[in-house]
Amino acid sequence: MGKSVNGSYTTKDGTVSFETDSAGNITIGGSQAYVDDAGNLTTNNAGSAAKADMKALLKAASEGSDGASLTFNGTEYTIAKATPATTTPVAPLIPGGITYQATVSKDVVLSETKAAAATSSITFNSGVLSKTIGFTAGESSDAAKSYVDDKGGITNVADYTVSYSVNKDNGSVTVAGYASATDTNKDYAPAIGTAVNVNSAGKITTETTSAGSATTNPLAALDDAISSIDKFRSSLGAIQNRLDSAVTNLNNTTTNLSEAQSRIQDADYATEVSNMSKAQIIQQAGNSVLAKANQVPQQVLSLLQG
């Protein structure tokens, strides 16, 4: 039987986990699996269900009208739905194709594509499907470079120039021209006259909408926003109270200074002059009495000497 590989099979009805061996036989939890008429994988052997193997499963999925997907070792294989061969109502269906995405180291790509002397190839292995890309000797060079655009696609367009025009009346910006030496098919050319916008990342774009993430619980987000606003208002209120107190103190100081200035300016000039004159007279009288007191001892001494 060989080693088994675990995988999952997804249709519009849900996802089923299964195991497959090296011969392609499919089991679910150790039980034989079947493919029913609707292309679903099941353990129910009812009606005309056929034993499931990888060939039968892929055939049923590719011929279905809804498509499906297979997953092995982290790689997802998308099976497209079948399409009518013509537009007639009874036209036969063309089975859908199988696609998957794989990656390879950039060092491997560079070493292979820059090999000038020998034909080489790069193989993408997934365990179930594989794809080989060949490089012909002498045809790989640095002149034929590949680039990755902003959407993750591979392109040979190195650069391009887009010119814009501004309406002097309303300020609107539109695409005026496009030029590129390598984009001969104009794959990246915007339509002339298209309005130019700025997306959520701050980049210029001609798209009218920007991708965003949905809010899983908008009420909780609103509550958080309101709570943040309340905290901010509380902080502002405390600052405002401190400012009000400082303003009140400054007003009191201003009032006291104004009152002092008023008392100084409103002093009675006549009263103050009278008080000053009185003080001067008293001072002069004191000086006179002191002088007389000094003269009496001198007169007594002169009489004794005579």
Q: For residue 142, is pLDDT > 60?
A: no
Q: Which residues pair with 162 in a beta bridge?
A: 178
> What are the tokens at 72?
């092995």
120 band by pLDDT with thresholds 50, 70 and 90: low
Q: Mean of the pLDDT values across residues 42-65? A: 79
- Report d(CA 283, CA 277) in Å as an integer: 10
Query: For residue 114, which of 87, 145, 90 has the smallest C-alpha distance?
Result: 145
Q: Tell me what percent of the residues of the chain surpass a pLDDT of 70.
A: 71
Tell me the three state secondary structure of residue 155: strand
pLDDT in the model for residue 211: 67
Q: Which residues pair with 148 in a beta bridge?
A: 154
Q: What spatial distance separates the first Cα and last Cα of the chain, rounded to whole Å?
A: 165
Q: What is the pTM of this model?
A: 0.37
Query: For residue 57, which of 29, 82, 38 has the smallest C-alpha distance?
Result: 38
Outline where the chain has alpha helix (H).
54-62, 106-113, 218-265, 269-305
165's CB contacts (< 8 A; 6+ apart) are 173, 174, 175, 176
pLDDT in the model for residue 250: 94
* Helices first, then strands: H and E counts in the chain: 4, 20
CB 47 within 8 Å of CB 59 = no
Query: For residue 53, which of 77, 34, 66 has the smallest C-alpha distance?
Result: 34
pLDDT in the model for residue 278: 92
pLDDT in the model for residue 240: 92
- Report d(CA 77, CA 71) in Å as an integer: 6
140 band by pLDDT with thresholds 50, 70 and 90: very low
Burial of residue 63 (CB within 10 Å: 0-12, 13-18, 19+) is: middle
- Report d(CA 60, CA 83) in Å as an integer: 14
pLDDT in the model for residue 118: 54
Q: For residue 252, is pLDDT > 90?
A: yes
Q: For residue 161, is pLDDT > 60?
A: yes
Q: How far is CA 280 from the centre of its chain?
A: 89
pLDDT in the model for residue 246: 94
Q: Mean of the pLDDT values across residues 257-266? A: 81
> What are the tokens at 44?
């129910």
Q: Dihedral sign, CA of 61, 63, 66, 67? A: positive
